[in-house]
Amino acid sequence: MAEHSEYSYELKIPLARVAVLIGKNGEGKKDIEQATGTRLQVDSAEGDVFITGEDALGLYTAREVVSAIGRGFNPELAKLLLKQDYASEQIDLANYAKTKKHEIRLKGRVIGAEGKARKLMEELTECHVSVYGKTIMILGEVEKVAVCRRAVEMLLGGSQHSAVYRWLEKKRNDLRMNKALGSPG
């Protein structure tokens, strides 16, 4: 006799992101449920999201997509996490900033003048970067997310932008070379 276990997970997203998660006429929520084989219950007043399902992987994936939407990504980008070779990583600014003023300065370093730093990191790593609230979230192919995370950490640690860009260009060339040679990462 096969036993069905139901798994559940609860997470909180900012109230400002609840409508984005649900989508027009509930389409966003339905898309995530269908793609992951889960059910989402959203408490619009509190920002609590309850995810239930029988497939642990589907539950994990749904949680990652919901989390990405909660951290500022639009649903279409967040749904890239449905692909097997995509991942996301979140960096908590509280680990780097001592004060609110310091946090704002660090966010500015990652975004750059007119968004230049973030745009360049996204181009060089083929990842997406969202700076939202007290977090920075990176979304992309697994090995590229690790490279982008390191670049963000370098900026948060005080490295010069030009040094980070040079490092990223070298990493990008290394990845291309490895791909051309057929070796992983």
Angle at which helices 100-111 and 116-125 pack, to 10 degrees?
50
Q: Say if residue 40's pLDDT is above 70.
A: yes
Query: What does the block give as tokens for 48?
Result: 């609590």
Percentage of the chain modeled with pLDDT above 70 = 96
pLDDT tens digits, one per residue of 12-21: 999 999 999 9
Q: Which residues contact residue 109 at a Cβ distance below 8 angstroms, ignoring those fewer than 6 apart?
A: 117, 155, 156, 161
For residues 105 and 111, give the distance between their C-alpha atoms in angstroms, rounded to a whole number. Answer: 10
Q: Is the pLDDT of residue 86 over 90?
A: yes
Closest CA to 150 of 128, 117, 125, 131: 125
Residue 182 pLDDT > 80, yes or no? no
Q: What percent of the chain has pLDDT over 90?
A: 88
Instruction: Tell me what pLDDT residue 1 has.
Output: 46
Q: What is the mean pLDDT of residues 178-183?
A: 75
Q: What is the mean pLDDT of residues 80-90?
A: 95
From the list 2, 76, 64, the residue with the least C-alpha distance to 36 is 64
Q: Minimum mean pLDDT among 53-62, 63-72, 170-179: which range?
A: 170-179
Is 82 in contact with 39 (CB distance < 8 Å)?
Answer: no
Give the residue with greater pLDDT, 87 vs 183.
87
Q: With a threshold of 0.85, does the pTM exceed it?
A: yes
Domains of the chain in sequence order: 7-82 (3.30.1370.10), 86-181 (3.30.1370.10)
